Amino acid sequence: MESRAEIRSAGKRSSRKRLAAARRALLCVGVLLSCAHAATSWTPAIYHGLALGRAHRAEVVRALGEPSSTSRGPLGEELHYTARGEHKGDLTLRLDRSGTVYDIEEEFPRNIPRTILYREFGKNAVTAHFSQAACASNALYRDPRGQIELTMYPERGIVLWPNQEGYDFATVHYMAREPGVPRPACAPR
């Protein structure tokens, strides 16, 4: 018979996996639909010399070595690097169909408190609220009343995604474009 602690731990792992899958889906859909929506103040991220939006697979392998594994994502190839992130987390690099890197996600092994990441990235973060449009494949769009609160550094192309409690951070994304899409016509006003 499993103890309560073991059951709780298993539940946290499965909810964390579901949260990670939802996060990936939202960002992938957002990037797909944001091709026509270029933000004027967003600067593409640079990670280990890789300029997102311009770097290709060969440059990734030169900079980071061979990936631990690869898979096919909704928009193209995904390269996985186990425990290779800045915070000892797993990296997932997403490439579009042309082979260009558009997103690098580091999933932290443990949630990191805001104060620590604010010290690392700076206090000039922008907080934005987003919602999902169920009528548009759960596309992520900016919504002042949205339940999803992201912390962004637009001048550096960085997005911090909170954990399920909403305070500490679970992942950091280095992105070529600002997350989200224009509000879909079918989304509630």
Q: What are the pLDDT digits (tens) for 62-73?
A: 999 999 999 997
pLDDT the model gives residue 3: 55
Q: At residue 17, does pLDDT exceed 80?
A: no
Q: Is the pLDDT of residue 9 over 60?
A: no
**Selected residue with higher pLDDT from 189 and 132:** 132
pTM of the model: 0.78
Q: What percent of the chain has pLDDT over 70?
A: 79
Are the C-beta atoms of residues 107 and 100 closer than 8 Å to each other? no
Cβ burial of 185 (10 Å; 0-12, 13-18, 19+) is exposed
Residue 83 has pLDDT above 80, yes or no: yes
Looking at residue 13, what is its pLDDT? 52
Q: What DSSP designation does 17 have? A: H
